[in-house]
Amino acid sequence: KEMRARLGHVFATGSPVDDSSHAFAQCVTDETGGELSLTVFPDSQLGGDEALGRDLARGGLEFAFLNPGSLTGLDPLLDIHYLPYIVSSFDEADKVFYNPEGVLQTTLREAMGSHGMHAIGFFELEFRAITNSERAVTSVEDVNGMRLRVPGSISIRSFFENAGAQAVTLPFPELFVALQQGTVAGQDNGASITFNSRLFEAQKYMTLSNHVYAMGAITVGQRFWDEQSDERKAVIEDCATSATADQIVANRAQSAAYLDGIREGGVEVHELAPEEMAKFVEIGRNVWSRLEETYGADRIAALRAEVDGLND
Amino acid sequence: MSGRVSKRLMVLTVSRRCAPRSTGSMTSPNDRDRVIQNNGSPFVLFLRASSNVLGAFEKQVATLSMIVIMFAIAATIVVRLFNLPLPSLGEIAVVAMSPLTFIGGALCSHLHQHITIDVVELMPNSVFKTLLRGLSALSMAVFGGIFSWLAWNLFSYAFETGERLIDLGTPIWIPTGCMVIGAALICIHSIIDFLLVVMIRNREVSI
Amino acid sequence: MIIVVALLFAFLIIGTPIAAAFALVVFLQPDRLNVWLDSLSSIPYDSVSSFALVAIPLFILVGEIMNRSGMAASLASLADKMLGRVRGAFGYIMIVASAFLGAITGSSVATVAAIGSTLGPEMASRGYPKGYVASLNAASGLLGVLIPPSIPLIIYGSTVGVSITELFVATLVPGALLMIAFATVHWFRSRALLEGGQEIVARAPVASQDDGAASKRMWAGASTTKAAASLFLPVLVLGGIYGGLFTPTEAAAAACIYAILVVIFLRCLKPSELMQTVYSAILPAAAILLIIAMTGILNRALILNQVPQDLAALVAVLFEHPYMFLLAVNVLLFATGMFMETNAAVLLMGPLLAPSAQAFGIDPVHFAIIVVTNIEIGLLTPPLAANLFVAARTNNVHLAEMLRHFGWFIGAAVVALALLTFIPGLSLWYRYF
Ligand code: NA
Ligand code: NA
């Protein structure tokens, strides 16, 4: 018998995540011979991440491409991957973030699992960056006293406060005008959001600080998942694997294109010199031990071990 | 003569350095009560009194929510400008939107202040008018009933999972709970309304 | 879908509150609409738990305070002195004031609320039918979106990928065009509606006639202080936003606090009266917020059934000539605007239609202005017409009494929209400089 299912996400039509969600939907529809067909609802048409999460858990939605970092209200562990400077390059990200046995994926899967959400694959969002309209940030001192808008994540906030910035909470829809009028000097989204939400139009400088690497999850509602046959589960998982692999490649190419677009928009884009990057990394990692209460000392210790292992 | 009186009143208000003007000439529940007082049975009086008691509660809650919203937003400006070591208080305003909307919505039900396409008011036939009023009260009661049940389900989910808002960690069972209370109150007011329309059938009363 | 619409109209006609009608049609037939009832309860909660919506109750409150304290009246008499010779002056004042306030709030509904409760009663006292005042009030609220900063333009720019700065500049001429359109309607209608074509002049002189010069002076003195204090309000709010002190939403709270301080220092209202003022603001605020909360439910049902999506796809393939396409887009958006909340409609329809517009070679900025203007006109088109609802409530008038008036303004807006659609230069004016 044929069955229809819905897939929701908050990403813009035509973005790499949206493309990937369509590829995944098509794959599932094809591989089940049309027995399970997915319809994609992009652009927050079915609500924000919190609403998607609630619906997945309660059975009102079957699939979502979620940003688990937005769901920390449900479980503080869901933004453990926002710990500053777990990695600072794509190579490192591949080893730490896309290791299914690693602390990050295990923690996220468990935390989502305990709230009725079954994660079947992880895709790339972006490295966060620092943009502002006051001065080029090339060292930690440049951030000092700068009024920066940050998302509601304890890790990111602590990082900027430690670096001497004034971290300000501001709802995203207000951000563009706030940047334009100088209510805040800058913000810390990466190339994709900075370009697509046109924030670069109100900014002069961007520094690829890579302080946080964000990852999204292809998620299935637990109730729906439990009703599927093992055979179908395997099909869905295979589709997730190929969709995420393709997404990561496409996302990196697109991210470079976004950076070009931001440069064309008149923004000076800076990279950090290795010794300055090292200082940022040190400030970032110092935050970790203070967040042991939030994420658990054992998890942070395990994560440190994983990250230290990168250098071997 | 009456012109002279109104001039005097004008001067009185002026001498307080301001000339306040009232916007609302909405039907106050007191007017309705006065009519009911004259031709209502004890049960009718009881219904009306209960509705008034609930209305007084709703008024307090909604007024308080409005004040909270105002100060919370104003506080976020101050916190940012002076870089005070306080978290963003905007979340409090967002939470207070639920009681303002839903419990305030119940107050609108009590005072018949909901926004409607009020073609009914244009109808000359008062029997027909009463019938439509009854139907609309009934539909509102059905809405309130279903909405209460749905809101309750969300509330119990929020309560069980302990989902919180991110900035201050306010549990979302608080705003969703306000939604349940508001929905239930809308249902109660509408049932009372419906009963009053059925029992009194007096066009003055159901205004 | 036809059943849904029929049921909706049936509920609305029997007088079911709009908020309830939009939710009930979905509640009563979840299976037919392919929705899962339980997930619907988080829509009203999520809709109102929004920082951006906070401006609506706050601006309603500002309006109430200014109105009850007489700040609005003193502003009105000031404007009167400046424009006294102009026929039907107060209508133009309302249009210009809405444009100014719109510049501040970026939200149509908040603009209507604030202008309606401050200027509405004054205008009605000058001999205009209340239904007309409310209609003008509702229409001029649209200017809020077309004068930056504007939330719908930000939403469009960021979901479709059009420069927001360019949109903010582009929208100025369309905004002016709409102002002219409404002013033209007022020019004609005020002559038809006012007795002798003239406004009844303010009543301040009434007190002065035989009650002595002393009270006249007192009125004048208080009025001047108050007018100055009231005039500073837009200065504070605009200066605060453009000076980077606060965001447009926060400006609403700053305006509230400022108005309360003025009222306290000028001793315009006793504390109990101040509480009464807050109370009188919560009813319209709650009524409109409940509508915003509950209409999201029908919107979700439409989206889940792919109704707007399918129609947009149809429009894209059905027509070959760009003008036919634009015409069809306008009809589709007009219909969408009747049933959907504006921000949701922009978020949904923008990405659906923009790619085909691009294929037709229509400039993205031009197309953005068409889409946003059209969807904003939806604020005036029942059954879901937030500006009309708020105007009716703040001007204390039945919607039915507005019926014969607001059509003129919708007509004017549609004419302006047609010009905007077929003369790209109106939106792209800045490229000629
Ligand atoms: Na604006
Ligand atoms: Na409409």
pLDDT tens, position by position, C37-84: 888 889 999 999 988 788 889 988 988 888 788 777 777 777 777 776
More confident residue, B140 or C38: B140
What pLDDT sits at residue C205?
A: 43
Distance from CA of A188 to the nearest CA of C (A): 17
Per residue in B153-199, pLDDT tens?
999 999 999 999 988 999 999 999 999 999 999 999 999 999 998 88
Instruction: Determine the angle formed by the axes of helices B126-161 and A49-58, rounding to 10 degrees.
Output: 90
Of B153, B157, B166, the CB nearest to A152: B166
Residue B41 burial (C-beta neighbours within 10 Å; 0-12, 13-18, 19+): exposed
Confidence at C99, pLDDT banded by 50, 70, 90:
confident
Identify the weakest region by mean pLDDT among C83-92, C196-205, C248-257.
Answer: C196-205
Of A72, A147, A169, the CB nearest to B90: A169
What pLDDT sits at residue A257?
A: 95
- Give yes or no for residue A251 having a pLDDT over 80: yes
What pLDDT sits at residue C220?
A: 52
Fill in the amino acid letter for C52.
Answer: A
Cβ-contact A186, A135 below 8 angstroms: no
| Buried/exposed B121-145: b ≥16 CB within 10 Å, e otherwise | eeeeeeeebbbbbbbbbbbbbbbbb
Per residue in A183-218, pLDDT tens?
999 999 999 999 999 999 999 999 999 999 999 999
Q: What are phi and psi of A115, to 5 degrees?
A: -120, 30
Residue C127 burial (C-beta neighbours within 10 Å; 0-12, 13-18, 19+): middle
Identify the weakest region by mean pLDDT among A106-120, A168-182, C138-152.
Answer: C138-152
Confidence at B34, pLDDT banded by 50, 70, 90:
low
Cβ-contact A146, A165 below 8 angstroms: yes
Neighboring chain C residues of A13 at a CB cutoff of 8 Å: 159, 351-352
Cβ–Cβ below 8 Å for B166 and A115: no
Q: Is the peptide bond before C383 cis (omega within 30 degrees of 0)?
A: yes
Distances from the Cα of B51 to the Cαs of A72, A308, B109, C73, C136, in angstroms? 41, 67, 10, 36, 36
* Ligand nearest to the CA of residue C410, numbered in listed order: 2
Return the closest-CA partner of residue B97 out of C263, A161, C54. C54
Neighboring chain B residues of C29 at a CB cutoff of 8 Å: none
More confident residue, C105 or C282: C282
- Give yes or no for residue A243 having a pLDDT over 70: yes
Cβ-contact A154, A292 below 8 angstroms: no
- Give yes or no for residue B15 having a pLDDT over 50: no
Q: Compute the mean pLDDT over every residue in chain B, rounded to the nearest whole number.
A: 81
Of A43, A55, A178, the CB nearest to C351: A43
Helix (H) or strand (E) holding A123: strand A117-127
Token representation of residue C307: 């109704």
| β-pairing verdict for A213-221 and A117-127 | antiparallel
Confidence at C213, pLDDT banded by 50, 70, 90:
very low
What pLDDT sits at residue A19?
A: 96
- Give yes or no for residue B26 having a pLDDT over 70: no
What pLDDT sits at residue C101?
A: 75
What pLDDT sits at residue C104?
A: 66
Q: Which residue on chain A is closest to C46 by alpha carbon?
A: A51
What pLDDT sits at residue C216?
A: 46
Edge-to-edge strand ranges of the sheet holding A3-9: A36-41, A3-9, A63-66, A213-221, A117-127
Test the C interface: residue of B8, B67, B101 with most C CBs within 10 Å: B101
Confidence at C204, pLDDT banded by 50, 70, 90:
very low
Confidence at B17, pLDDT banded by 50, 70, 90:
very low
Sign, CA dihedral B106-B108-B112-B117, equals: negative
Cβ-contact C22, B134 below 8 angstroms: no
Q: Compute the mean pLDDT over every residue in chain C, rounded to the nearest whole number.
A: 86
Contacts of A36 (CB under 8 A, 6+ apart): A2, A3, A5, A28, A29, A232
Of C149, C159, C162, the CB nearest to A12: C159
Give the separation between CA C397 and CA A45, rounded to whole angstroms.
35
Confidence at B20, pLDDT banded by 50, 70, 90:
very low
Average pLDDT over residues C195-199: 76
Q: What is the DSSP letter of C49?
A: S
> How close are the terminal C-alpha atoms of chain B, in Å?
32
Enter the pTM of the model.
0.89
Q: Is the peptide bond before A151 cis (omega within 30 degrees of 0)?
A: no
- Give yes or no for residue B14 having a pLDDT over 70: no
Q: Is C236 on the interface with B (CB under 8 A)?
A: no
Average pLDDT over residues B109-114: 92
Cβ–Cβ below 8 Å for A74 and B83: no
Per residue in C116-136, pLDDT tens?
888 888 888 888 999 999 999
Fill in the amino acid letter for C216.
Answer: K
Greatest pairwise CA separation for chain C in angstroms: 76
Neighboring chain A residues of C352 at a CB cutoff of 8 Å: 13
Q: What is the DSSP letter of A134?
A: S
Q: Is C209 on the interface with B (CB under 8 A)?
A: yes
| CA–centroid distance, residue C164 to ligand 2 (Å) | 25
Neighboring chain C residues of B116 at a CB cutoff of 8 Å: 12, 15-18, 399
Cβ-contact C292, C386 below 8 angstroms: yes
Q: How many CB atoms lie within 10 A of CB B175?
A: 23
Give the separation between CA B194 and CA A130, rounded to whole angstroms.
60
Average pLDDT over residues A71-91: 94
With a pLDDT cut of 70, the percent of chain A lying above it is: 99
Neighboring chain C residues of A196 at a CB cutoff of 8 Å: 158, 161
- Give yes or no for residue C308 having a pLDDT over 90: no
- Give yes or no for residue C16 having a pLDDT over 50: yes
- Give yes or no for residue B85 having a pLDDT over 90: no
